[in-house]
Chains A and B, each alone.
Chain A
C-alpha cells in the first residue's frame, strides 16, 4: 500500500490506488505458501534465555543481545557473550532452524537475572525486538503480572501493525498470562503427533494453533540434545513455518500470514 494513502478512510477513487503486490492465488496450498522456501531473507528473533552459538543444530546466530533493567534504566548489551543460561532458547532456535535453515536468527536474552524484575525485562526485551522490525518474534514465555498486561497489549498491537509476527506459547493451565492471549499474536499449544509440519487451527481460541510439542528432540546447551515436551517447543514450530512463508512472500502482513497459516493448517483444505 502506498505511503500517501489516508490512514483512516478510503475515497471512491482511492480504491484503485491500493495495489497489492501479489495476485490472489486462488487456492492457497502449502506448495504456494512455502514450497521451495528455505527461510532465506526472513529475520527471526528468539526472545528467551539466550542461544548457544554454533550449536550443531542451530548454526550461526547473527546477533545476540541481552536486556536488563536497573531502576528506570533499560540496558541493552549489544554483544551478549553469555550464551544460553538455561538451554531453552537454544532449543527453540534449533527447532526454527530445522524448519527454516537459512533464516537470520537473533537472540534477545531476557532471562537470567533472577525472578524479581523479570516481567519488566520481558517487556523491554519485546519493545526492543519490535523496534528492530524483525519479521517473526518467538516468545515461549509469558508473564502473569497484571500491571504489564496493558503495556504488552499495546506492544503486541504495535508489532502487528509494523509487520512483525509475534508467535507466543499458550498456557496449558487455566491462568491469566500474557501476551499469548492477545488476538494480535499467534498463540500456540501442543499436539501429540511427531510430524513437525502438522499443525491445526483451533476455532475455539484463545489458543489459535496446535503444533508439535510432545517428545521433541531439541538442541540444548553444551552442543547437547534433549527430548522435551511443552508448548514452548510447539511455538518455534509455528515460528519456523512463519519464517518459511515470509521468506517466500515477504509482502504478507501478520493478518495475511495468519490467514495463510489457517488455510494451510492440517485440518483445513490447503494442507497439501
Chain B
C-alpha cells in the first residue's frame, strides 16, 4: 500500500467514527465571517483548488449572496485569485474596476463586482490549497503592513481548515469506494454506530476482528 493510500485509509477509518465534512465547512464559514468582520469588508470568500480539474471552487463565502456562490468554479489561472495561487504572493488591490479585463466575468457571475480586493494564498506544507479573498474593505486610510500580517494569520487558519476538509473528502471517497480496503472503513463506521447496543453484536464483531488481526 502506498503511504498516501495508507493515510487515506486511516482518515477513512477516523471519518467513519467522527463524520466531518459539515463541521469543517462550518469552520471555513466561521473564518470568512470573522475575516469579513475584522476588516469591516462587504464580503469574504475561500476558494479551494480542485487539482483534478485545475479549477478554483468557492467553498465558503460571507456576503449577501453567499449561498449562491458556493460551488461556483473557474480556471485556476483566472484573474487575481489565480495569480495569487500560482505565484504564492498575497496581493492587495484597490479599485479593481479600473482594470476592464480583471476577472470581471468571474466577478459578475458571482453577482458581486468588488471595488477593492485582498487576496492571500492558502499554503499548507508545500501545497497551495486555495485562496482567501476579502472584498471591499472601507478605504479609510492607507493600507498598513499590520493588516497584511493579519490577513496572513487568517490565511494560515483557513489553510488548516481547507486541509481538514480535503482529508475528510478523501476519507469519504474511501468509505464509499468499492476498493478492497473500503470495507475496513465501513466496519469501523458500523462498529461506531453499534456502540451502546446490548445485543452483543458489537462485542462479537470485535472478538472476530481480534482473531483476524492474529491471523494477519
Contacts and interface: CB of A to CB of B under 8 A. Distances in A.
Nearest to B100: A222
B76 A142 contact: no
Interface of B is mostly: mixed
Contacts of B125: 144
Contact of A144 (B88, B96, B120): B88
A51 to B, nearest CB: 14
B144 A171 contact: no
Contact of B155 (A144, A173, A226): A173
Using C-beta atoms within 8 Å of the partner chain, give the interface range for chain B. 35 or more
A230 B91 contact: yes
Contacts of A215: 94, 142-143
A145 B126 CA distance: 5
Given A111-B83, A230-B89, A232-B91, A176 B77 contact: no
**Most B-side CB within 10 Å, residue of A144, A145, A172, A175:** A175
Interface string A31-65: 00000000000000000010000000000000000
B114 interface: no
Given A142-B87, A172-B149, 18 more contacts: A86-B77, A87-B102, A111-B86, A115-B49, A115-B85, A140-B87, A143-B88, A144-B128, A146-B126, A215-B142, A220-B98, A220-B99, A221-B102, A222-B101, A224-B99, A225-B98, A228-B94, A230-B91
Give the 5 A-B CB pairs with smallest separation, nearest first.
Answer: A141-B87, A229-B92, A227-B94, A115-B76, A114-B54
Interface of B: 49, 51, 54, 75-77, 79-80, 82-83, 85-96, 98-102, 120, 123, 125-128, 142-145, 148-149, 152, 155-156
10 contacts: A85-B77, A111-B87, A115-B76, A115-B86, A144-B126, A172-B90, A173-B155, A177-B123, A215-B143, A230-B89
